[in-house]
Each structure stands twice: as C-alpha cells, then as structure tokens.
Amino acid sequence: MVRCKALRLACWNADGVRGRKLELEHFLSKYGVDICVLSETFLKPDQAFRLANYVCHRTDRPTTGGGTAILVSRGIVHHSVPVPRPTHFEATPVQVTLVGRPVKILAIYLSPSR
C-alpha cells in the first residue's frame, strides 16, 4: 500500500497580489499550502511575480483589474493546460499528477459586472 501526503489547497481573492506578497508568503508558509488558486491578481503582462518555492501560472487581464493565477509548490509534477479563451470569465488551468493520475485545477474569475 502506498501512502501519500495530503495535498493542501487554498483559494484566495488577492484584490491585488503585488501589494500583498508578504501576506501571501506568510499564509502559504504557515498553512503548508501546496497549490493556491488566486483571483483578482491585478497583474499586468509586463509585471513579474515570483514566490520562492512556487511556480506561478497566470492569466492577466490587459485592462485594469481581474486576472487569475495558480501557485504550485515546486516538486509537484504539473504543467499548463491549453484551454479555449473564455469570453465571459478569466481562467488559468494546470494539470497536476496525483498518485499517477492527472487532475486538472482551474482558477476562474467572473467579474461582478458580468
């Protein structure tokens, strides 16, 4: 029998992740989060965003606001997944391998104005 470590997932409405980077790092560390799904990142395509020990997959909105991201702890086997560009919401998909099986995880954000 193979025992696996429990996977810790979190979902966070960032409301602008760059100004809250230290708070996010503290939260991820304190709770041992393996995968964090973020909405309302407010990141622009030309802005870098990195956290130690995490790979960041993101979908930025070209205009103000919005944006989604998924932070995956290094060491977890994963990759980006292509998805047709949604028209009514924003999405960032990744696929992780858990116990040899693929699992898709999506960060989705639907603006209240829609």
Where is pLDDT greater, at 6 or 8?
A: 8
| Confidence (pLDDT) at 22 | 93
φ/ψ (deg, to 5) at 27: -60, -50
Reading the block at residue 55, the tokens are 């790979």
Opening angle at CA 20, ends 18 and 25, nearest 5: 105
Q: How far is CA 56 from the centre of its chain?
A: 7
Residue spans of the domains in the chain: they are 9-109
2-6, 14-18, 30-34: least confident range:
2-6
Residues 16 and 60 sit within 8 Å (Cβ to Cβ): no
pLDDT in tens, 57-103: 999 987 878 899 999 999 999 999 987 776 778 889 999 988 888 99
| Confidence (pLDDT) at 114 | 65
| Confidence (pLDDT) at 58 | 94
What is the DSSP secondary-structure string of 5-16? PPPPEEEEE-SS
Architecture of domain 9-109: 4-Layer Sandwich (3.60)
